[in-house]
């Protein structure tokens, strides 16, 4: 989620000189300008240079023009950086780096967006159950972090507001805004009691006693009640939108807040601090039996994912079941950046030696879920996070894993680049053709067509065809039939020479198959790929192969053969229409009239036969040939024929040939 817009500002122009400020390992990008009026910080998008990962930078720099009159806020900024460095909690915004000078503080944190910004962009979904569950889950995280600060760290946050809560890419709520974070032991001189009032709009989420008596009143009471009061207002705003400034003591209306949670929030908004609920009590109410935190679906799944690899078999099964049955209960960001990384880690995990692998984390169970959840990921993130476990699963000998991969091929084949498919996926994929289980062989066969556009020419025109030659004689009739169908559909991906060399023999073989549907598939494949054959191929190879099917014992085959024969005869006739009367040149044609005594009969017969176009012309040509042969025999029997006799015989032959040609021409007309 990138909500940072390209806005020009004086602050960004100052940073543009180095693009990193005092943080040399980060490149600082555009500023979210509106944030500076709601906080003492300027908020920037940024990039970590060593791995090019996105992050966020909070900066307070007195050299920026808008901070010219805010020097008194520098101690608060330094306190925030110091406390963020020393506070470790899963629900606190993760610190990456920080830097301080005499006049500036820079803090680099994980990529995150202020809560108010996220809420404003999803305002139209305010009443949806999915959004309400997400808010409850987020509040559980903030309550957990505040309880840690109030009880374990014996401190008061003092600056709880939508600007001090950040949302990560996974939709997780993280607590920040530690400008006024003060240990109880520092009362009454700590920053909370002396300088928190300097924060922008400091009294907006303050309880009545602070608005009436000032911030130093907290030093003489339980200052954590400030946090519980502010948290209640932030929670109601999250459900219902921004609240007007608090003028009275009545709690805001419930609106979209779940009733059980609203009751707890009301106790946190009691005007009398002595009877006001603390954050710890709200936590107990939410985590009790039937509590608003404990029964929240998103809370259950998120907590289950945090310790997924260490969970019991039943706990893992419950999480997987929720993800499979209620995918609409979770936001897309939660699924992509919270659920998906956990499942990918589970896929990559290797069980300790001697242990039984968990049934819930088997690749055959997790892979379909991982592939489905990974669909909305950008291509670079998908390639980095999903492809490695996918390729690892292809190397697994487990048949259930292989079936899961093949059945869900459509979810990933289009997103894999050609080189990965050719070099890494293909070598493992083709092992499925050698599997002893027919279901695996057939599923592997079905996977070829979607993969074909990604395969190299060498694989398509050589390796693949050798594999298909084996599957065409597979013991399973269905596999043989599907092989023929696949070959027919692969034609656009095959070279012209391969089509001429492979298709007719392959389809002709299928026409002799014992399985009726294999024969029908062969006929249909021949017809579908008819454009790959010229009229000569049709006459010499296709028609002779198809003709026996016209008398097949099965009518289904005969009917299809009739259609095929008709189509190919039309193709032959169309090809014949463009053929010349003869392939001989005029010189060759003239020389063919000179016959030697030993070849006259043969050439005369061939010529007469080629010119015969009807029964009558054929008889005439045959008579001419017989006479020519007889004359040749008489000529051969004479031991010393005269020159005149030879010339007479030649004239007779020429006249006879002319008559034959004329008769043939007339017959053709």
Q: Kindly report the CATH number assigned to the domain that includes residue 137.
A: 1.10.510.10
* 108 pLDDT more than 70: yes
* DSSP three-state, residue 188: coil
Residues 16, 147 within the same domain: no
pLDDT, tens only, 489-509: 999 999 999 998 999 999 999
Q: Which pLDDT band holds residue 302 (cuts at 50, 70, 90)?
A: very high
- Cis previous bond, 144, omega within 30: no
Identify how many contiguous H helices and E strands the chain contains and give both numbers. Answer: 33, 10
* 13 pLDDT more than 90: no
* 94 pLDDT more than 90: yes
Beta pairing partners, 112: 168
Residues 74, 166 within the same domain: no
147 against 631, higher pLDDT? 147
Residues 266, 142 within the same domain: yes
The Cα–Cα gap between 468 and 509 comes to 13
The Cα–Cα gap between 259 and 273 comes to 23
Beta pairing partners, 55: 46, 110
Average pLDDT, the chain: 86
Residues 132, 83 within the same domain: no
388 against 124, higher pLDDT? 388
* 270 pLDDT more than 90: yes
* 295 pLDDT more than 60: yes
| Percentage, residues of the chain above pLDDT 70 | 85
Residues 187, 276 within the same domain: yes
Please state the rounded mean pLDDT for residues 260-268.
96
Could you tell me the two tokens for 599? 């070849």
The Cα–Cα gap between 75 and 496 comes to 77
Q: Which pLDDT band holds residue 590 (cuts at 50, 70, 90)?
A: low
Q: Classify residue 526: in a domain, yes or no.
A: no
Strand order in the sheet with 173-175: 112-114, 165-168, 173-175
Would you say the C-alpha torsion 179, 180, 185, 189 has a positive or negative sign? positive
Q: Give me the pLDDT at residue 356, please.
A: 64
464 phi/psi in degrees, rounded to 5: -65, -40
Q: Give me the pLDDT at residue 362, please.
A: 85
Residues 210, 150 within the same domain: yes
Counted domains in the chain: 3
Please state the rounded mean pLDDT for residues 115-140.
90
The Cα–Cα gap between 252 and 249 comes to 9
Q: Classify residue 141: in a domain, yes or no.
A: yes
Would you say the C-alpha torsion 193, 199, 203, 205 has a positive or negative sign? negative
Q: Cα dist. 582→534, 573, 578, 607 in Å?
A: 19, 17, 12, 11
Among the listed ranges 84-88, 235-239, 634-638, 646-650, which one has the minimum average pLDDT value?
A: 634-638
pLDDT, tens only, 558-573: 999 999 999 999 999 9
397 phi/psi in degrees, rounded to 5: -80, -5
Q: Are 377 and 422 in contact (CB under 8 A)?
A: no
pLDDT, tens only, 413-462: 999 999 999 999 999 999 999 999 999 999 999 999 999 999 999 999 99
Q: Give the CATH number for residue 56.
A: 3.30.200.20
CA 173 from centroid of its chain's CA atoms: 28
* DSSP three-state, residue 385: helix
Tell the burial category of 255 from Cβ atoms under 10 Å away from its Cβ (0-12, 13-18, 19+): middle
355 phi/psi in degrees, rounded to 5: -100, 155
Q: Which pLDDT band holds residue 325 (cuts at 50, 70, 90)?
A: confident
Residues 17, 120 within the same domain: no
Q: Classify residue 212: in a domain, yes or no.
A: yes
Domain extent at residue 171: 116-287
Please state the rounded mean pLDDT for residues 460-468.
95
Q: Classify residue 355: in a domain, yes or no.
A: no
Q: Give me the pLDDT at residue 350, please.
A: 64
pLDDT, tens only, 252-263: 999 999 999 999
Q: Give me the pLDDT at residue 348, please.
A: 80
Residues 137, 88 within the same domain: no
| Percentage, residues of the chain above pLDDT 90 | 69
Q: Cα dist. 146→40, 174, 273, 619 in Å?
A: 21, 11, 18, 113
Please state the rounded mean pLDDT for residues 651-658.
74
Among the listed ranges 64-68, 523-527, 614-618, which one has the minimum average pLDDT value?
A: 614-618
pLDDT, tens only, 189-207: 999 999 999 999 999 999 9
The Cα–Cα gap between 535 and 297 comes to 68
Q: What is the DSSP letter of 243?
A: P
Residues 34, 63 within the same domain: yes
Residues 65, 144 within the same domain: no
Residues 145, 278 within the same domain: yes
Q: Give me the pLDDT at residue 577, please.
A: 87
The Cα–Cα gap between 630 and 646 comes to 14
* Helix boundaries (H) for 395-451: 399-407, 418-420, 426-429, 438-451
* 360 pLDDT more than 90: no
Q: Which of 113, 145, 163 is the last residue of a domain?
A: 113
Residues 97, 154 within the same domain: no
């Amino acid at each position: 989620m990138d909500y940072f817009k390209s806005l020009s500002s004086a602050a960004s122009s100052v940073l543009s000189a180095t693009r990193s400020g005092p943080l040399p390992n980060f490149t600082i990008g555009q500023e979210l300008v509106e944030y500076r009026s709601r906080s003492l910080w300027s908020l920037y998008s940024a990039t970590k240079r060593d791995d090019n990962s996105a992050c966020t930078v909070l900066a307070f720099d007195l050299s920026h023009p808008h901070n010219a009159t805010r020097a008194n806020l520098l101690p608060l900024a330094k306190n925030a950086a110091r406390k963020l460095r020393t506070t470790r909690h899963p629900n606190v915004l993760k610190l990456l780096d920080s830097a301080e000078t005499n006049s500036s503080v820079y803090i680099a944190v994980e990529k995150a967006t202020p809560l108010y910004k996220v809420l404003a962009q999803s305002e139209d979904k305010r009443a949806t159950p999915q959004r309400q569950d997400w808010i409850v889950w987020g509040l559980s995280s903030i309550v957990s972090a505040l309880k840690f600060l109030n009880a374990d760290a014996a401190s008061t946050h003092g600056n709880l507001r939508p600007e001090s809560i950040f949302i990560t890419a996974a939709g997780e709520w993280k607590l920040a805004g530690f400008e006024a974070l003060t240990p109880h032991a520092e009362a009454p001189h700590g920053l909370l009691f002396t300088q928190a009032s300097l924060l922008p709009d400091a009294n907006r989420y303050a309880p009545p006693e602070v608005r009436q008596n000032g911030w130093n009143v907290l030093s003489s009471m339980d200052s954590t009640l400030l946090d519980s009061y502010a948290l209640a207002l932030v929670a109601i705003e999250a459900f219902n939108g921004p609240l007007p400034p608090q003028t009275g003591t009545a709690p805001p209306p419930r609106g979209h807040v779940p009733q059980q949670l609203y009751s707890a929030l009301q106790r946190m908004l009691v005007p009398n601090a002595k009877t006001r609920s603390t954050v710890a009590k709200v936590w107990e109410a939410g985590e009790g039996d039937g509590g608003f935190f404990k029964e929240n679906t998103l809370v259950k799944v998120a907590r289950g994912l945090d310790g997924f690899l260490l969970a019991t078999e039943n706990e893992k099964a419950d999480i997987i079941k929720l993800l499979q049955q209620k995918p609409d209960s979770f936001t897309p960001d939660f699924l992509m950046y919270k659920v998906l990384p956990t499942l990918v880690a589970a896929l990559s995990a290797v069980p300790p030696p001697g242990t039984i692998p968990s049934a819930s984390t088997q690749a055959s169970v997790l892979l379909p879920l991982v592939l489905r959840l990974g669909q909305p990921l950008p291509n670079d993130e998908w390639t980095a996070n999903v492809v490695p476990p996918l390729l690892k699963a292809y190397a697994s000998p487990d048949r259930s894993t292989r079936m899961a991969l093949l059945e869900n091929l459509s979810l990933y084949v289009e997103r894999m680049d050609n080189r990965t498919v050719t070099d890494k996926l293909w070598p493992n994929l083709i092992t499925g053709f050698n599997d002893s289980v027919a279901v695996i062989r057939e599923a592997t066969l079905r996977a070829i067509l979607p993969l074909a556009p990604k395969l190299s020419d060498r694989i398509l025109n050589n390796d693949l065809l050798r594999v298909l030659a084996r599957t065409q004689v597979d013991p399973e009739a269905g596999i043989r039939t599907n092989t023929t169908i696949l070959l027919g559909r692969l034609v656009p991906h095959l070279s012209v020479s391969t089509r001429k060399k492979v298709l007719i023999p392959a389809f002709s073989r299928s026409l002799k198959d014992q399985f009726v549907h294999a024969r029908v598939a062969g006929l249909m494949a021949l017809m579908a790929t008819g454009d790959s054959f010229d009229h000569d191929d049709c006459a010499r190879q296709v028609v002779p192969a198809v003709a026996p099917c016209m008398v097949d014992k099965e009518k289904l085959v005969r009917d299809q053969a009739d259609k095929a024969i008709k189509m190919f005869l039309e193709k032959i006739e169309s090809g014949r229409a463009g053929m010349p009367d003869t392939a001989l040149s005029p010189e060759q044609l003239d020389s063919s009239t000179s016959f030697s005594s030993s070849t006259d009969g043969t050439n005369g017969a061939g010529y007469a036969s080629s010119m015969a176009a009807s029964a009558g012309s054929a008889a005439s040509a045959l008579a001419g040939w017989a006479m020519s042969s007889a004359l040749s025999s008489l000529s051969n029997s004479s031991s010393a024929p005269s020159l005149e006799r030879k010339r007479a015989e030649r004239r007779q032959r020429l006249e006879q040939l002319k008559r034959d040609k004329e008769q043939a021409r007339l017959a053709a007309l």
